[in-house]
Structure 1
Amino acid sequence: MYAAAHPGDLLCAATSDHAYRIPALRGAEARGTYGADTYLISVNLASTSSHTLLPLSTCLGSCHTAETGFVLGNLSGPDAPQHLPDRNCEVRASFACTGHLAGPGHPNGALPHRPTHAGR
Structure 2
Amino acid sequence: MPIWADDNFPEIAETIRSHSVLAAVRSATADTSHEESEAAPFRREQWLFSHNGAVPDWRHLLADLGETEHLVLDARSDSALLWALAATRLSTGRELPSHVLLELLRAIAAIRPTARLNLLLSDGQAITATA
* TM-score of the pair, normalised by structure 2: 0.33
The higher relative CO (CA closer than 8 Å, separation ≥ 6) is in: 2
More strand by share: 2
Structure 1 or 2, whichever has the larger Rg, is 1
| Structure with the higher fraction of residues in helix conformation | 1
Which TM-score applies when normalising by structure 1? 0.35
